[in-house]
Structure 1
Amino acid sequence: MQAFKAIFARYGTLSLFAVLLASGCATQPQQYDYAAFKESRPASILVLPPLNSSLDVSATNSMLSQVTLPLAESGYYVFPVTLVNETFRQNGLHNSAEMHEVGLRKLREIFGADAVLYIDIKQYGTTYAVLSSESRVTAEARLVDLRTERVLWEGAATASSAEGRSSGGGLVGMLVSALVNQIVESSTDRSHPIAGITSGRLLFAGRPNGILYGPRSPKYQTDGSAQH
């Protein structure tokens, strides 16, 4: 309070407002409540083929092929994608929506996993504009305990091919850059590697409000967030 009074006395109301605004911008995001996660201590995760809320039909397979790595690297056993898909097909389920409707008890009975991961792809693909073309992938995830049916964790992540691009060089430079980017975006499948970045941001342990380390990780016992 004394600091605010000193600023007000020296610089006036405007500077005091600026200080308050800066303080608000520096507020840290609220810490995720990991109580259920720590109590559950899942070791194995069943990943269902993601729901696809985007307009690109390749989104589900693209994302599904890249979610095992971050989970495995984080210390979990992940059921093989091909095994999961074949098991569902043998039971007459052929698309993600049908698989997501299977009850938790049934999933536990069939696979014996500790938890199931539901993924919903909100955005996948490339958009084109005069001055900016980009491939963007956004996904949400929810981890549910198959033994207690409690939600252990929820999160979301996004990645874009436009990250880190420079807008310098004036209008001519921007037009040239936009043209080059559009050629690259349209001639290559940029969304697939961007989906890999999104998967990493979403599912690698150790990220702010991300999943906790699993029992196969060397950080499982040393990281306080993985203990209870």
Structure 2
Amino acid sequence: MSRISSLKLSLALSALALLAACAQPAKHLDYTAFKHAHPRSILVLPPDNTTTDVNASNSVLSQMTMPLAEAGYYVIPVAVMEETFKQNGVTTAGDIQQTSPAKLREIFGADAVLYSTISQYGTQYRVLVSATVVTASAKLVDLKSGDVLWQGAATANSEEGNNNGGGGLIGMLVMAAVKQIANSLTDKSHDIAGITSYRLLHAGAPTGLLYGPRSPKYGTD
């Protein structure tokens, strides 16, 4: 078998494995603590950025408020949160996330706090494809009890649904390189971060947040 044929077979097997994984039924979360706490307001802290892109945390943070507001929650304004910590000499996400739940509730008066981590952010060149990927995880913690009410993870990439089979091997290699340069120049990561943020923080079972009291769907899930 030629090297090209072996490569095509490997790609086909990878695609089948991905489809098989997607076909698995979604796990249902235990919402008992969430329903007991019934939070009305949420404080969103800057995401802990484990990637090498210094823009990742601000990019994702700027797009987390909308899906939470659409889910029916009052979200403490990000600018207020950042300025409050800045005035107290705390500026990094890691240090901010070390603040105790009791102190966060005392300062901001929120019912719950959202902690998050970014594990992928940016354009990646992988031989035959160049994709912009953003992956993040989060957990919602009750500021009264310290209990974890919900946790989840999400990812999005610029190549979802694209067909890269045309143009031959050389064409695919060239296209991957071109996309990497274009995505880097146009800050494609910020756009993909918006998709990831929505997927991560949307409301609705079996894995999303429960609807908040400002949503017409409150109490239906």
Q: If the TM-score is normalised by the length of the shorter chain, which range does it land in?
A: 0.7 to 0.9
Alignment of 1:19-98 (within 5 A): 28-98=25-95
Task: Give the match's secondary structure for 1:83.
Answer: helix
Which residue of 2 is the match for residue 142 of structure 1?
A: 139
Task: Give the match's secondary structure for 1:216.
Answer: coil
- 1:73: Cα distance to partner? 0.4
Is this contact kept in 1: 2:51–2:119, CA < 8 A? Answer: yes
Task: Give the match's secondary structure for 1:128.
Answer: strand
CA distance in 2, matches of 1:151, 1:207: 17
Listed one character per residue, the Cα deviations across residues 16-58 of structure 1 (whole Å, up to 9, x for unaligned) are xxxxxxxx99652331000000111000000001110111000
Is this contact kept in 2: 1:51–1:60, CA < 8 A? Answer: yes
Structure with larger Rg: 1
Between stretches 140-149 and 121-130, larger displacement belongs to 121-130
Which residue of 2 is the match for residue 195 of structure 1?
A: 193
Letter in 1 for 2:218: Y
> Scaled by the length of structure 1, what TM-score is found?
0.83
Q: How many residues align?
A: 201
- 1:207: Cα distance to partner? 5.5
Unaligned regions of 5+ residues in structure 2, if any? Answer: 1-20
Q: 1:207 to 1:101 in 2, by over 3 A?
A: same
> Scaled by the length of structure 2, what TM-score is found?
0.85
CA distance in 2, matches of 1:132, 1:216: 43
In the alignment, does 2:171 pair up with 1:168?
no
CA distance in 2, matches of 1:177, 1:76: 43
Which residue of 2 is the match for residue 218 of structure 1?
A: 216
Between stretches 163-172 and 69-78, larger displacement belongs to 163-172
Q: 1:93 to 1:26 in 2, by over 3 A?
A: closer
Q: 1:195 to 1:145 in 2, by over 3 A?
A: same
Which residue of 2 is the match for residue 19 of structure 1?
A: none
Letter in 1 for 2:97: H
Between stretches 31-40 and 171-180, larger displacement belongs to 171-180
Is this contact kept in 2: 1:201–1:207, CA < 8 A? Answer: no
Which residue of 1 is the match for residue 118 of structure 2?
A: 121
Task: Give the match's secondary structure for 1:218.
Answer: coil
Listed one character per residue, the Cα deviations across residues 166-192 of structure 1 (whole Å, up to 9, x for unaligned) are 022232442353244234223211100
Which residue of 2 is the match for residue 206 of structure 1?
A: 204
Between stretches 166-175 and 88-97, larger displacement belongs to 166-175
Which residue of 2 is the match for residue 108 of structure 1?
A: 105
Which residue of 1 is the match for residue 15 of structure 2?
A: none
Question: What root-mean-square deviation, in Å, do the aligned CA atoms of Structure 1 and Structure 2 show?
Answer: 1.9
CA distance in 2, matches of 1:76, 1:178: 41
Task: Give the match's secondary structure for 1:118.
Answer: strand
CA distance in 1, matches of 2:76, 2:172: 46
Q: 1:26 to 1:165 in 2, by over 3 A?
A: closer
CA distance in 2, matches of 1:56, 1:49: 15
Letter in 1 for 2:191: P
Which residue of 2 is the match for residue 6 of structure 1?
A: none
